[in-house]
Chains A and B, each alone.
Chain A
Amino acid sequence: MASPGSPEPLPARLPGVWRGSESRAWQRTLPTGLPALDAILPGGGWPVGALTEILTDQQGIGELRLLLPALVRLSREGRWLAWVAPPHLPYAPALAAHGMAIDKVMLLRPRAEKDRFWALEQALRSASCGAVLAWPGTADNRQLRRLQLAAERGSCWGILFRPADSARQASPAALRLQLQVQPDRLELTLLKCRGGLARRRVELELPPTPPLP
């Protein structure tokens, strides 16, 4: 109830009016290159200066192709793409066939576990990398917060690949996507989406593999 003299409370949602709480939506975005995905992301793209979490236990379902249009674009703008402790070697002939400037690929493969986290944080906060892709394994909330801050400071698109059961853990990431595979299609669930609606689902047609000539 509004007390006398105080302004009337705003209705829950006025069309075209942003509430203060929503103004914390992503500052900058990077188009995903996938119109169906852009349509459900606030700002119409991947969040820059924040973490994106990709949750899946599978490999070979399009988990990289999903990111590829945006990564290709960054590389062609001369921005570095750092891959921190990837599970396999990114394969240059395939990346090049998708149009990536492979001389912008930077592989960081620290041997020690603690160096991996350190290198990841450095890459995120350096402001030298357009995107940082990382496979951090387990990470607790404190570590994730550090990484989110580092991504903010470095204005970097930070992508963390994490196991599916991390969904139960809270995370400061701006965007959390769960991946499920259907034959020829990828189903994405937005587990968390700062400044937007969570629990939305989208089915995507990914860039074909192998790429069309």
Chain B
Amino acid sequence: MNATPAQRAGPLWLALYFPQLPLEVFTATQPREQALAICEQERIGTCNTAARRLGVRPGQQLTEARALSRELIIRPRRRDLEQQALEGLALWGLEFTSQLALLADNALALELAGSLNLLGDLHTLVRQISDGYRQRGHDCHYALTPSPGAALLLARARRPLLISDRAELPRALAPLPPELSEHGPALRSLGIERLGQCLQLPRAELGRRFGEAFVHWLEELQALRPSPLPRWQAPEQFSRSLPLPAESDHHEALGFAFHRLLQELGSFLRLRVKGVEALTAQMFHRKHSVTEFTLSLLEPEQNPRYIMELLQQRLQNLALPAAVHEVRLQSDILTPLPSRPGSLFADITPLDWSRFAGRLQSRLGSDAIRGLALADDHRPEYRQRLTPLPATDQHRDSAELPARRPLWLLQTPQRLSCEGEKPLYNGKLQLDGEAERVETGWWDSHGAARDYYLARNPGAELLWIYRERRSGHWYLHGIFA
């Protein structure tokens, strides 16, 4: 084919047809050797190679297929999952063109004429796209013509033609059986066995018989009339479900399924140049209400491997009420990704720290990770605060730091026993220097004045103790470590 710019004045539509999608939405998590068939209205629709080996055929009665083998798994067709999967495929298609449409029965149309100058020659581009879908595990058939309808018919007929000149269309379409189109039955009733026959019929005649819409369809097929296709817009949020091959409550099986979904999420985020800040993982049980948890990230995240690590940790700590038959992943908060300026410390970028902290948080819970901050309060235990990390307030305390403070503070002062007047802690304590009076104030319930001392025990441990003036009791409050 010789695609010079002059010939490419009009659009060029690449139709991509995914005949195995009803099967593929299940096989993502299924071992290849497992015989699997999809049924619709009591008949087998599609089946995999392992099922064919057992004698299963499309169109077969369900009861007949069931009788063939106990090994065979039969699933009812899930058009909702197919739609989700097709949108995932469409999203990847947006890498090549912004003019993209979803077609009926698991097919896509991509307009490529506008992308050719950017993306190189047609053959390479089409191969790149179709190989890409195959590498993602999809059976993919394609054709490219100036008419999206003709491209779809050729793709469904598994004729991978690339046609840029509409004059070649009638010849390419001529041998196709009419059943490939939605007008199959009508054409058959006319005695038409190949599309070529009806392309030769006078259009006025056809119009009188089948209506104007039919004539338009024929003209669109030959690119004599533009095809209005609604441009597909990528959804704002990510939401995908995946059925498990068998009901399971094993973390590995769930992890495997979520791993698949996270890869989808990863390409969703890359294509939308966004990071996810919160997402919800759901696990569906047959007889229980859904188990779900939300994963919050410290910052917008795009890397599925990292999210997987967090998710895995949550899964490990999860108590499931029953086996799971389907999982779902949904993004809750997406944020456009900021550009990341390079850091001077290549090995310790702030990003790495956030990831590290995020990993800790998801396993330990956020209250197990704390930072320290000074507070404006003269009472020793309120002079510092434990803060969430990363610290949100940059409040720097200007008040002068008190002298003689220990490096360790006991979370609750420890009451000391006494021998006569002398407090004890691993032996008798020798008080060191003068008392420091701390008024703790009448305004709170802890109110009472304290006299603080440095004290040393026979083991030469240096301690910070106080005597509560009201009660006369001694307490250990800190350790000069």
B262 at the A interface (CB under 8 A): no
A62 at the B interface (CB under 8 A): yes
Which residues of the other chain, A, contact B372 by a CB distance below 8 angstroms?
A: 90, 92, 95, 102-103, 105, 107
Task: Say yes or no: A106 contacts B374, CB within 8 Å.
Answer: no
Task: Say yes or no: B407 contacts A94, CB within 8 Å.
Answer: yes
Task: Say yes or no: A88 contacts B370, CB within 8 Å.
Answer: no
Which residues of the other chain, A, contact B80 by a CB distance below 8 angstroms?
A: none
Expressed in whole angstroms, the Cα–Cα distance for A78 and B369 within the complex equals 18
Task: Say yes or no: B368 contacts A87, CB within 8 Å.
Answer: no
Task: Say yes or no: B461 contacts A59, CB within 8 Å.
Answer: yes
A25 at the B interface (CB under 8 A): no
Task: Say yes or no: B370 contacts A92, CB within 8 Å.
Answer: no
Which residues of the other chain, B, contact A95 by a CB distance below 8 angstroms?
A: 372, 407
Task: Say yes or no: B347 contacts A97, CB within 8 Å.
Answer: no
- Considering the complex, give the chain A residue whose CB is closest to the CB of B375: A92
Expressed in whole angstroms, the Cα–Cα distance for A87 and B138 within the complex equals 57
B337 at the A interface (CB under 8 A): no
Q: Which of these, B357, B371, B383, B403, contacts A105 with CB under 8 Å?
A: B371
Q: Count B-side interface residues using an 8 Å CB cutoff.
A: 45
Which residues of the other chain, A, contact B374 by a CB distance below 8 angstroms?
A: 92-93, 96, 102
Q: Mark A68-100, 1 if CB is under 8 A from B, else 0.
A: 100000000011100000111111111111000
Expressed in whole angstroms, the Cα–Cα distance for A69 and B435 within the complex equals 29
Q: Count A-side interface residues using an 8 Å CB cutoff.
A: 48
Expressed in whole angstroms, the Cα–Cα distance for A65 and B461 within the complex equals 13
Q: Which of these, A62, A89, A96, A127, contacts B411 with CB under 8 Å?
A: A89
Task: Say yes or no: B347 contacts A155, CB within 8 Å.
Answer: yes
B114 at the A interface (CB under 8 A): no
Which residues of the other chain, A, contact B460 by a CB distance below 8 angstroms?
A: 58, 61, 181-183
Contact (A90, B408) CB under 8 Å given A59-B461, A60-B463:
yes
Which residues of the other chain, A, contact B383 by a CB distance below 8 angstroms?
A: 92-93
A189 at the B interface (CB under 8 A): no
Task: Say yes or no: A93 contacts B364, CB within 8 Å.
Answer: no
Residues in A110-127 with C-beta less than 8 Å from chain B: 110-111, 115, 118-119, 122-123, 126-127
CB of A186 to closest CB in B, whole Å: 10
Q: Mark B456-475, 1 if CB is under 8 A from A, else 0.
A: 00011111000000000000
B410 at the A interface (CB under 8 A): yes
A210 at the B interface (CB under 8 A): yes
Expressed in whole angstroms, the Cα–Cα distance for A213 and B479 within the complex equals 20
Which residues of the other chain, A, contact B353 by a CB distance below 8 angstroms?
A: 80, 126, 128
Task: Say yes or no: B360 contacts A89, CB within 8 Å.
Answer: no
CB of A115 to closest CB in B, whole Å: 6
Which residues of the other chain, A, contact B405 by a CB distance below 8 angstroms?
A: 91, 93-94, 97, 210
A201 at the B interface (CB under 8 A): no
Task: Say yes or no: B389 contacts A127, CB within 8 Å.
Answer: no
Expressed in whole angstroms, the Cα–Cα distance for A96 and B480 within the complex equals 14
Task: Say yes or no: A58 contacts B410, CB within 8 Å.
Answer: no
Expressed in whole angstroms, the Cα–Cα distance for A84 and B97 within the complex equals 51
- Considering the complex, give the chain A residue whose CB is closest to the CB of B411: A89
Contact (A110, B368) CB under 8 Å given A59-B479, A96-B374, A128-B356:
yes
CB of A48 to closest CB in B, whole Å: 12
Task: Say yes or no: A103 contacts B391, CB within 8 Å.
Answer: yes
- Considering the complex, give the chain A residue whose CB is closest to the CB of B383: A93
A191 at the B interface (CB under 8 A): no
Expressed in whole angstroms, the Cα–Cα distance for A106 and B407 within the complex equals 15
- Considering the complex, give the chain B residue whose CB is closest to the CB of A107: B370
Which residues of the other chain, A, contact B373 by a CB distance below 8 angstroms?
A: 92, 102-103
Of the listed residues B348, B369, B404, the one surrounded by the most CB atoms of chain A closer than 10 A to its CB is: B348
- Considering the complex, give the chain B residue whose CB is closest to the CB of A125: B356
Which residues of the other chain, A, contact B411 by a CB distance below 8 angstroms?
A: 88-89
A109 at the B interface (CB under 8 A): yes
A30 at the B interface (CB under 8 A): no
B363 at the A interface (CB under 8 A): yes
Task: Say yes or no: B459 contacts A94, CB within 8 Å.
Answer: no
Q: Which of these, A60, A108, A183, contacts B364 with CB under 8 Å?
A: A108
Task: Say yes or no: B368 contacts A108, CB within 8 Å.
Answer: yes
- Considering the complex, give the chain B residue whose CB is closest to the CB of A209: B480
Sampled A-B contacts (23; CB under 8 Å):
A59-B479, A60-B461, A60-B479, A61-B460, A62-B481, A65-B407, A91-B407, A94-B406, A102-B372, A103-B372, A103-B394, A107-B369, A107-B386, A108-B369, A109-B370, A115-B364, A119-B363, A122-B359, A126-B352, A128-B348, A128-B353, A128-B356, A213-B403
The interface of chain B, by Cβ under 8 A from chain A, is 345, 347-348, 352-353, 356-357, 359-360, 363-364, 368-374, 380, 383-384, 386, 389, 391, 394, 401-411, 459-463, 478-481
Q: 15 more A-B contacts (CB under 8 A) besides A60-B481, A88-B479?
A: A61-B459, A61-B460, A78-B345, A90-B408, A91-B407, A91-B409, A92-B372, A94-B406, A103-B372, A106-B369, A119-B364, A127-B352, A128-B348, A155-B347, A210-B403
